[in-house]
Amino acid sequence: MKISRSFIIGISVLLVLMFVLQINLPQRYSWAPTFSHKDKNPFGCYVFDSIMSRSVPAGYVVTDKTPYQISHDSNNVNLLIITNDVNISKIDVGAIRHIAERGGNVLIAGGRKSYNHTSDSLLMKNFGACFCYDYFSITSLKKAIKNNMSRAHDTIYWHKDDAVYKANMYPVYSMMRGKLMMSDSICDAEVLAFLESCDMDYVTETTVGEDGVVVEHVVADTLSDETPATKPISRLPVAIRTKVGKGSVMLVSTPLLFTNYGILDSITSEYIFRLMSHIGDKPVVRTTSCMKTPDVEEAEASPLRFFLGQPPLRTALYLSLLVIMLFLIFTARRRQRVIPVIEQPQNRSLEFVKLIGTLYYHNKDHSDIVRKKFAFFAEELRRLLMVDITDRGADSRSFSVISAHTGLRREEVESIISDLRKVADRESNVTEYGVKIYIDNMNMIINKIM
């Protein structure tokens, strides 16, 4: 008992120590961009939102309201949208224009994970630019830093030079910046910041058709055998501002800098505050309705989401679930019957014996009782001693065997069996007193053999 108690106490102490050590171990960061208000990882916005709420003079709040809902509020506010996959609808564009036309400023810090013709065309037609495809992988970034540090970095140039902010340069990792495709047909777009690089894998130019379709094609491949002096230098805008009504709309292709990582970095934080200063004159509302969390993206990729997105398949799925539910209910009702309590079977053998004995007693048929007992007696001797007392020709052997196994004299055995044979052959009748003598003799012989 003492050993068992000591073992339990030892295991308990080890478990507590493991739990304490696990809590105190440094946690690994998740580099998945979430832009969540509660996410404290590098690409969350917990610290970013906290700092902005104390830095924006007119106020800063985070809400899940859509741009349409915010545009119909009575307050005149500025709007901030941060997402790494911009998917703007026609209603969203109308809401953004409504906010800007009444004097508000909208900042969209975004990127593009997949091609979206509708969203790109709406942005290009209304604001003069759209976001290009970008890709971020912490594994690829570490590999690029290890292999070639110079190719892992780019420089963002602040192009706007005025009395408030002078031109400046901000080095960033290449995978943390995107780029914008601008339309030549809209001249109101003002470039605030751009990339000037000749180390990119390729240089592209963008054209926009009359229908608003964006076409991007490669004009130079910098991985060729050209010398650095002959490589083309491209200026790729990363932040532009377009006048819309009394306000403006800003498109910024560095959403990963509008995070905890970007605001805590001493270099990029200045770049972020320069951009935020353009929307700091009014209360800033950051909406989270335009960003997709990893959980939402995983749910949209599930086969069930496809079924629910198609009305005929959705109806068929609901009907199937209803039929299965009805089947389960009716099957359960059919099988849930009241089970009666069944008493355990009782042994009625003794009552049966007493009943038979009472019948023989009332009928005064004592001889028949002895005959039935003799038949049972003869069968027991045949089973136990392999003798047949009903065969008179084998009496000499039978009596000797019985005498040897019971210890009775041979003459006594012969006398008992001879008297029983007379009753069995109906040569004599048995009185009420004689029944007990005959049955006791047969029981005596069986008991001595056993």
CA gap 116, 120 in Å, rounded = 6
b (16+ CB within 10 A) / e for 189-214: bbbbbbbebeebeebeebebeeebeb
Cβ–Cβ < 8 Å for 112, 205: no
Instruction: Delimit the domains of the chain by residue range.
Output: 26-311, 349-449
The model's pLDDT over 26-37, given as tens digits with 9 standing for 90+, comes to 767 788 888 989
Confidence (pLDDT) at 234: 66
Confidence (pLDDT) at 78: 95
Confidence (pLDDT) at 350: 82
* pLDDT < 50 stretches in the chain: 1, 199-231
CA gap 395, 381 in Å, rounded = 13
Whole-model pTM: value is 0.58
Confidence (pLDDT) at 77: 93
Confidence (pLDDT) at 441: 87
Confidence (pLDDT) at 18: 82
